[in-house]
Amino acid sequence: MYKSKGIQAYRKDSIKSDLASADPHRVIQLLMQGALEKLALGKGCIERSDLAGKADALTRAVEIINALRDALDRDVNPELVDNLESLYDYMVVRITEASVQKDTSIIEQVMGLILQIKGAWDQISSADKQMAYSGQGEARVGAI
Q: Which tens digits make up the pLDDT trace of 1-44? A: 344 555 455 455 555 555 565 688 889 999 999 999 999 999 99
What pLDDT, on the 0 to 100 scale, is given for residue 64? 97
Fold of 25-141: Four Helix Bundle (Hemerythrin (Met), subunit A) (1.20.120)
Euclidean distance between CA atoms 71 and 80, whole angstroms: 13
**CA 128 – CA 27 distance, rounded (Å):** 16
For 51, residues 6+ apart whose C-beta sits below 8 A from its C-beta are 45
> Mean pLDDT, the chain, as a whole number?
84
pLDDT of residue 124: 84
Domain boundaries, the chain: 25-141
Q: Is residue 120 pLDDT above 70, yes or no?
A: yes
